[in-house]
Amino acid sequence: MNIIVLGPQGSGKGTQARLLAEKLGLFYLDVGNFLREVAKENPRIDEMVNKKGQLIPDEEIFLLVKNYLERSAPKLDNLLFDGYPRSVRQYELLKNWLLEKGVKIDTAIFLYISDSESIRRLSARRVCKDCGEVYNLITNPPSSRDCKCGGSLIQRPDDTPVIIQERLAEYKKTTKPLIELLEKEGILKRVDGERPIDVIFKDILRSLEK
């Protein structure tokens, strides 16, 4: 089973995707973290992703994902995509490539939350500058001022309210048509993301069983 997990920034899609991958034994691709790793070697992508919170062009991110999967999960089965694809074009590129390989996207889970909740959650996000562990002062606070590894916690430049609002506007512009397409194809499952983590996870599992 190949699954896409979608949702606006701060929707908790990363948390749910990791839980789902662990529960079902899926190969987990967090495209956000993947791009940040790529950005360490590519100054242009670093500027776009980490400093401006911009989206990578569709064809470019597809090639990055495609090449990575061919190396890391060549069977292209039992995949879980976190935060990708985000546009109709990205989805078409991914879907057609997978179909050429004899596999497909089986289901897409869309976690929805309000803009105000997204801004509230993301403004409280902190990242360890040493190990990259992600915390949230509201939903997943650290046990002390620092990370459990001892590293200092910082706020990413793209987690400020102004940048978040810009990212949400761009997300809606590119992703709304994708949500509509996935629903038309009959593979979209909508899940309320403004509930406790365990409640959301149980809801997702129930929807997959159906």
**Which pLDDT value is given to residue 66?**
96
In single-letter form, the type of residue at position 125 comes to: R
First to last CA, the chain: 14
Each residue's pLDDT expressed in tens, for the chain with a length of 210 residues: 999 999 987 888 989 999 999 999 999 999 988 888 888 888 888 887 777 767 788 999 999 999 999 999 999 999 999 989 989 999 999 999 999 999 999 999 999 998 888 888 888 889 999 998 888 888 788 988 899 999 999 988 878 888 888 888 888 888 889 999 999 999 999 999 999 899 999 999 999 987
pTM: 0.80
Q: 210 exposed, middle or buried (CB, 10 Å; 0-12, 13-18, 19+)? A: exposed
Fold (CATH) for 3-114+170-209: Rossmann fold (3.40.50)
Residues 6+ apart with CB under 8 A from 199: none
Q: Where are the domains of the chain?
A: 3-114+170-209
| DSSP count for the chain of H helices, then E strands | 8, 8
Q: Looking at 21-148, which runs of residues are DSSP E strands?
A: 27-30, 79-82, 107-112, 125-128, 134-136
